Amino acid sequence: METKPEEDQAEPHHYHHQSHPQSIAQSRTIIATIVYLALLVDNILLTVIVPILPDYLATINNKSLAAFTVADTDINQQQQLFASNLAYRNLDSHHAPVAAAIMTKHPIPGKSLVNFTVVEDRVIIAPVDRGDGHGVLGENGENDTLASENGSIGILLAMKALVQLIFNPIVGGMSSKFGYRLPIVFGTFCLLLSALVFAIGETYVSLLIARSIQGVGSACIGVCGMSLVAQLYPEEEKRSKVMGIILGSIALGVLLGYPFGSILYDLVGKSSPFIILSTLIFLNLGMQLLTMDLSVQPEVTIGTGYPKWRPIFGNKMILAIVIAILVSTSSMAILEPCLPIWLMEHLKPYKWQLGTVFIPDSVGYFIGTNFFGTVAYNFGQIRVSCLSLLLVGIASILIPSATTVPQLLLPHFCLGLGIGIIDAALVPLLASFVDLSLGDDQVVAKDSMSSYGTVYAIQQTSVSLAYCLAPLLGGELVQAMGFTWLMRLMGLCNVIYGPILVLLYSKYNPKFAAEKDNQMLLDTSGSGPGSHYKKLYNAVE
């Protein structure tokens, strides 16, 4: 993340007191690293709970049911006894796992937490007790239980996204008053508090509180972290590269969270992964306090102290980009809760495959964000995003065509790769459009810095909205049209929106309007004294 000396000449205004370009480069590299680490631990904390939660909740509930002799009851009675609140439990005398929770990448499980049995390490569908001692299977032997979800786990996992959805616009507005650094520190403190509550919490309510606190911290870090990076890197090419790398921390955190949580939980216990995470978060918080200037930045509080919302919402390209992110993200948000059910119904996967089926998309997202930020800038961010939307659409359409679990690897990888490239291309472009929407003069440029919080609050809200609404709507749409047609519909939406995004860009790109204004100014300069301005302009270009 080294920078050229000439790039460092055009630094944000709050660095005017630093005279040496190298010290400027080091300072913003340190801050970018802090943001990367904050997002990394946030996403590890997001997913580390998923493999722990079902069995731990079963342990809590089993304390009140210890008087029952489960081994003497048949499978239907066991399901009737436990199905209301347990997703993973040992039901027979040999303590073999009879039901397991689906480990999804994101905080909304939708209808993926269902009851199924494991026979010879194969997942099969367990019948639902009808109340008369007989199991009921749906059409073609499919289990009607697959339409239900575990309420307690669903609410707990959804709470983080719901709280983050509420706090994203609040954080975006507060950033204009307090700057970007203080909310990042506060958000990291919320992550520390959340991890500690997870470590010591022994009741469902305490876990719910911990998940909610994490939602507040994620909103602060997600909105202000990306805004601060956009502020520190005004050079568009450098901004695209650095933002892409930082977005890669999301996928890396997801990849590390599952094995980190499951292995430590099995070897040591529930508290161990959260104690280690608390230590890492505490070190990151100390790094922030030692290296970041936590005073309110003057460029953030000029004028009324509030971001200029009207130019942001008036920029049609910002709205078009947010919709593109929403459409592509919704494909994954719908897929994650619905795919495990479809797998159990049609492919009869091994139980370990249910926990690893989403690894290829995380790997693809990591590659897309880390290595395609600069590529997208060089070849055109909108053009690359259009191709990536096409890739996401084709992958979504091909997923239901798989007849074996290995056949899901390629479309799943392409799906994650496409979404990663879209984020790496469009998230930095949002900051560039904010700059263009508010003008180029010094005073307005300062306002654009305060408005980064506004635009990234909108972007984060669209992502949270996708993971809140898509699984809920997807669960109902699967019942209405089936998983295959739902994924085909989502794929078609991505394929269609790609050309629409290019069309909107060609019509509403703020750069074209600015170039048109400059050309009009040059044309009015004539061949008289004003021609000196034209020569100067051409020399600068």
> Is the per-residue pLDDT at 323 higher than 60?
yes
Beta bridge partners of 97: 90
Specify whether the CB–CB gap between 531 and 415 falls below 8 A.
Answer: no
Average pLDDT estimate for 316-325: 92
Q: Highest-confidence range of 116-120, 297-301, 450-454, 535-539, by mean pLDDT?
A: 450-454
pLDDT of residue 344: 81
Tokens 């690894």 belong to which residue? 359
Separation between Cα atoms, residue 282 and residue 45, nearest integer Å? 13
Could you tell me how far CA 199 lies from the centroid of its own chain?
A: 24
> Is the per-residue pLDDT at 527 higher than 70?
no
* Model confidence pLDDT, tens digit, residues 30-49: 999 999 999 999 999 988 88
- Tell me which long-range contacts 273-281 makes (C-beta under 8 A, separation of at least 24): 273/48, 273/52, 274/48, 274/195, 274/196, 274/198, 274/199, 275/199, 277/41, 277/44, 277/45, 277/48, 277/195, 278/192, 278/195, 278/196, 278/199, 280/41, 281/41, 281/45, 281/188, 281/191, 281/192, 281/195
Beta bridge partners of 143: 137
pTM of this structure: 0.74
Average pLDDT estimate for 4-9: 41
What contacts 373, CB < 8 A, 6 or more positions away?
240, 241, 242, 243, 244, 245, 424, 425, 428
489 versus 357: the higher-pLDDT residue is 489
Q: What is the DSSP string of 37-55?
A: HHHHHHHHHHHHTTTTHHH
Separation between Cα atoms, residue 147 and residue 8, nearest integer Å? 56
Specify whether the CB–CB gap between 297 and 177 falls below 8 A.
Answer: no
pLDDT of residue 132: 43
> Is the per-residue pLDDT at 167 higher than 80?
yes
Quote helix, strand, coil % in the chain, to nearest 5.
Answer: 75, 5, 20
* Nearest C-alpha neighbor of 454 from the set 300, 344, 275, 337: 300
Tokens (6 digits) for 344: 């159990």
Task: Name the band, by pLDDT with cuts 50, 70 and 90, for residue 111.
Answer: very low
pLDDT of residue 370: 92
Q: How large a percentage of the chain has pLDDT more than 70?
A: 65
Average pLDDT estimate for 250-256: 89
At the topology level, CATH places domain 7-50+151-514 in Growth Hormone; Chain: A; (1.20.1250)
Delimit the CATH 1.20.1250.20 region(s) of the chain: 7-50+151-514
Specify whether the CB–CB gap between 486 and 341 falls below 8 A.
Answer: no
Average pLDDT estimate for 467-493: 86
Separation between Cα atoms, residue 519 and residue 517, nearest integer Å? 5
Tokens 């506060």 belong to which residue? 186
Tokens 């507060």 belong to which residue? 174
Specify whether the CB–CB gap between 218 and 160 falls below 8 A.
Answer: yes
To the nearest whole number, what is the mean pLDDT of the chain? Answer: 75
Tokens 């470590």 belong to which residue? 199
Average pLDDT estimate for 517-535: 52
Task: Say whether 304 sits in a helix, a strand or coil.
Answer: coil
Average pLDDT estimate for 74-85: 47
* Window from 96-105, 266-275, 496-505 with minimum mean pLDDT: 96-105
Specify whether the CB–CB gap between 436 and 427 falls below 8 A.
Answer: no
* Model confidence pLDDT, tens digit, residues 383-440: 999 999 999 999 999 999 988 888 999 999 999 999 999 999 999 999 888 887 665 4
Could you tell me how far CA 34 lies from the centroid of its own chain?
A: 18
> Is the per-residue pLDDT at 329 higher than 50?
yes
